[in-house]
């Protein structure tokens, strides 16, 4: 059974990879429609031939890595189930710890460890590709440090979540999902509150914006938008990447306006102001809170549907995989597989909503700044620096893009200008 599963999965994975690669590199139509040629959205008007070639290569390779990483994650959970690792992890945890919390910690650590090991090659390839195309400037030591921080942070969060889920499972195998959802509400809000001041600084150094004149202009924009900010933060992302970004995040006293130093180094001040006005638009239109509300709603339906699928899975395959019941910690890989599948299926809808919000923020920003040239220049520079595609393949837009394509964004701004 193990060998049969392994060869079937490997064959399907390779076939899937070949089909996706063919689509991305050959089959997908990314040619710019004739009505956009010669406009500000035409990459030939602001990118060199070399940049166009590198953009096409880099984007397709990164898309391929993304679409390979999804079934790889599912495959890891299936390997843990089919090869009996979930039972071995449960037995090791039982033999090591007497209390249930300790056993959960051991099990989650072993599962997280095997996932990290099996995912590492593709993560490393992604890192090396970004380096080869001069997007990443991060040393291997720094990259590994982030990987280690990410592992322990992910382990801690997963341990807390799993502890709550299986505590309620042991209390009530049919209603555990509802009690878990109730507990998740303050947890989601808490994570949004602490992320800017606790989690983000684990990866990068934050400090007050050095350019005080620009900071004053940004704070003036914030004041016009009724955003209670007293300072603007700069983060030293140039140690890791050439890409650019900015954001407004957090709630209450933990609200932060943040600029990557790469954005400051590569954009003119008026272009930076448009980018910041865009980010402020998210805050003004309550997108941060809408995202929290959406997370709460999706968590409700995800837990509810996931509980039904898990109950069916254990009833159907419990004996095959030696899972004693829904509340058996050995069912965790199956539960994570179910959640991962649900997340993937919902992602096109989530991305579509996100693109709508991003377009609304673009509209807000151009209304506030009334500088279409600066806005267009900012998006063109973002395209060049990140080696982005102006018109990505359709399937990439659906599953990867939480923003409108650069073609759509620049065309909107050019239309506004006219």
Catalytic residue among 215, 279, 328, 408: 279
CB crowding 206-243: b at 16 or more within 10 Å, else e: eeebeeeebbebbbebbeebebebeebbbbebbebbbb
Measured distance CA(403)–CA(359) in Å, rounded: 8
SS3 assignment, position 75: helix
Measured distance CA(129)–CA(240) in Å, rounded: 14
279 is catalytic: yes
278 appears as a binding residue in the annotation: yes
SS3 assignment, position 74: helix
Measured distance CA(65)–CA(81) in Å, rounded: 24
Catalytic residue among 73, 215, 362, 371: 362
Q: What are phi and psi of 190, to 5 degrees?
A: -65, -40
Q: What is the DSSP letter of 24?
A: I
CB crowding 282-321: b at 16 or more within 10 Å, else e: bbbeebbeebbeebeeebbebbeebbebbbebbeeebeeb
Please list, in sequence order, all residues whose beta carbon lies within 8 angstroms of the beta carbon of residue 148, skipping any fewer than 6 positions away.
none
SS3 assignment, position 241: strand
Q: Which of 245, 279, 276 shows the shortest CA–CA distance to 361?
A: 279
358 appears as a binding residue in the annotation: yes
Binding site for Zn(2+), by residue number, is 278, 282, 358
Active site residues: 279, 362
Annotated binding-site residue numbers: 278, 282, 358
């Amino acid at each position: 059974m193990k060998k049969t599963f392994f060869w079937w999965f490997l064959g399907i994975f390779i076939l899937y990879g070949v089909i996706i690669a063919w689509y991305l590199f050959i089959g997908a139509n990314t040619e710019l429609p004739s009505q956009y040629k010669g406009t500000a959205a035409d990459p030939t008007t602001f990118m060199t031939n070399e940049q166009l070639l590198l953009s096409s290569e880099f984007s397709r390779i990164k898309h391929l890595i993304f679409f390979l990483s999804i079934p790889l994650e599912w495959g890891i959970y299936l390997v843990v189930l089919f090869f009996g690792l979930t039972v071995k992890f449960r037995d090791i945890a039982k033999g090591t710890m007497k209390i249930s919390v300790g056993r959960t910690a051991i099990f989650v650590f072993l599962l997280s460890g095997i996932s990290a090991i099996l995912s590492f090659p593709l993560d490393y390839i992604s890192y090396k590709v970004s380096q080869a195309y001069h997007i990443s400037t991060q040393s291997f030591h720094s990259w590994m440090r982030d990987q280690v921080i990410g592992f322990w942070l992910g382990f801690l969060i997963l341990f807390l979540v799993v502890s709550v889920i299986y505590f309620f499972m042991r209390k009530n195998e049919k209603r555990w999902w509802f009690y878990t959802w109730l507990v998740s509400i303050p947890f989601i809000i808490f994570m949004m509150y602490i992320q800017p001041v606790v989690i983000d600084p684990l990866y990068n150094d934050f400090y007050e914006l050095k350019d005080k004149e620009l900071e004053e202009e940004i704070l003036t924009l914030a004041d016009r938008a009724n955003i209670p900010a007293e300072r603007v933060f700069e983060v030293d992302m140039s140690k890791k990447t050439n890409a650019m970004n900015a954001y407004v995040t957090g709630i209450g006293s933990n609200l932060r306006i943040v600029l990557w130093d790469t954005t400051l180094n590569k954009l003119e001040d008026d272009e930076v102001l448009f980018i910041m006005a865009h980010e402020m638009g998210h805050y003004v239109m309550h997108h941060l809170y809408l995202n929290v509300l959406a997370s709460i709603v999706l968590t409700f339906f995800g837990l509810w549907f996931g509980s039904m699928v898990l109950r069916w899975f254990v009833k159907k395959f419990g004996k095959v995989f030696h899972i004693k019941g829904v509340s058996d910690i050995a069912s965790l890989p199956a539960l994570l597989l179910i959640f991962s599948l649900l997340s993937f299926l919902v992602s096109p809808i989530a991305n579509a909503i996100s693109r709508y919000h991003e377009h609304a923020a673009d509209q807000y920003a151009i209304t506030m700044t009334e500088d279409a040239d600066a806005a267009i220049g900012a998006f063109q520079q973002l395209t060049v620096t990140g080696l982005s595609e102006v018109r990505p393949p359709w399937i990439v837009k659906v599953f990867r893009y939480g923003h409108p394509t650069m073609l759509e964004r620049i065309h909107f701004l050019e239309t506004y200008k006219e």
